[in-house]
């Protein structure tokens, strides 16, 4: 479980194909020496919950299977690309964002971005099947970043980003057409299933 509050920007150091999946080596420069990553620990990489399979100080490795590569933007990441990183929530930690599982639902594409003073307005296109799970002022995780939906329309939604988010996450680097990982609010998913009598 995560909060959607990105801790740092990591960097892809190596991408190794593994059958239908791949292994990613990721650099975490600001990882505290007194709290290293441990084997088996969960880390959200661009919002996707992955397991640490190797760790050596600020360099760690994760494996992404075919389902992860098909459903997320991780298959398109290359050496040198930045990624959003967040360690799993500990019991007793402050929950500043919203509950994020790290189970990416789909991807969306940046359609438009424009400055609004020091903030930036970003509009995304998403498959129409996700419309019922998006509500204005509701929560969404975009590349693992907890955000509040501003507008929702058929096949699209928008968010506003503050300067800190623009500077501290990959969202500040997005260009129109770029794909982002989307995790809808888990409460909305449960309510939808109950409403359908599932």
Check which CATH number belongs to the domain holding 157 and give it.
Answer: 2.40.30.20
Q: Is residue 166 part of a domain?
A: yes
Q: Are residues 59 and 126 in the same domain?
A: no
Q: Are residues 83 and 116 in the same domain?
A: no
Domain coverage including residue 171: 106-195
pLDDT band at 94 (very low <50, low <70, confident <90, very high): confident
Q: Is residue 1 part of a domain?
A: no
Q: Are residues 63 and 123 in the same domain?
A: no
Q: Are residues 156 and 122 in the same domain?
A: yes
Q: Are residues 110 and 188 in the same domain?
A: yes
The answer to which of 66-70, 150-154, 178-182, 185-189 has the lowest mean pLDDT is: 185-189
DSSP 42: E
CA distance 28 to 11: 7
Using alpha carbons, list the distances in angstroms from residue 190 to 107, 146, 197.
20, 19, 11
Tally the domains of the chain. Answer: 2
pLDDT band at 185 (very low <50, low <70, confident <90, very high): confident
Question: Is the pLDDT reported for residue 69 higher than 80?
Answer: yes
For 123, the token pair is 């509009």
Q: How many CB atoms lie within 10 A of CB 16?
A: 11
pLDDT band at 92 (very low <50, low <70, confident <90, very high): confident
Q: Is residue 118 part of a domain?
A: yes
Ranges 3-12, 84-93, 183-192, most confident: 3-12
Note the pLDDT of residue 90.
83
Q: Are residues 121 and 72 in the same domain?
A: no
């Amino acid at each position: 479980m995560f909060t959607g509050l990105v801790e740092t920007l990591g960097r892809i150091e190596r991408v190794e194909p593994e059958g239908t999946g791949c292994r990613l080596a990721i650099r975490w420069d600001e990882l505290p020496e007194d709290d290293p990553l441990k084997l088996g620990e969960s880390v959200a990489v661009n919002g996707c919950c992955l397991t640490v399979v190797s760790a050596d100080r600020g360099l760690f490795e994760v494996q992404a299977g075919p389902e992860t590569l098909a459903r997320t933007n991780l298959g398109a990441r290359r050496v040198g690309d930045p990624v959003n990183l967040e360690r799993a929530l500990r019991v007793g930690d402050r929950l500043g964002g919203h509950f994020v599982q790290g189970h990416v639902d789909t991807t969306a594409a940046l359609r438009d971005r424009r400055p609004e003073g020091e903030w930036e307005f970003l509009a995304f296109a998403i498959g129409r099947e996700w419309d019922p799970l998006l509500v204005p002022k509701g929560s969404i995780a975009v590349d693992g970043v907890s955000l509040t939906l501003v507008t929702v329309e058929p096949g699209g939604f928008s968010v506003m980003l503050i300067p800190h988010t623009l500077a501290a996450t990959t969202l500040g680097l997005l260009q129109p057409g770029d794909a982002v990982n989307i995790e809808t609010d888990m409460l909305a998913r449960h309510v939808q299933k109950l409403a359908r009598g599932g």
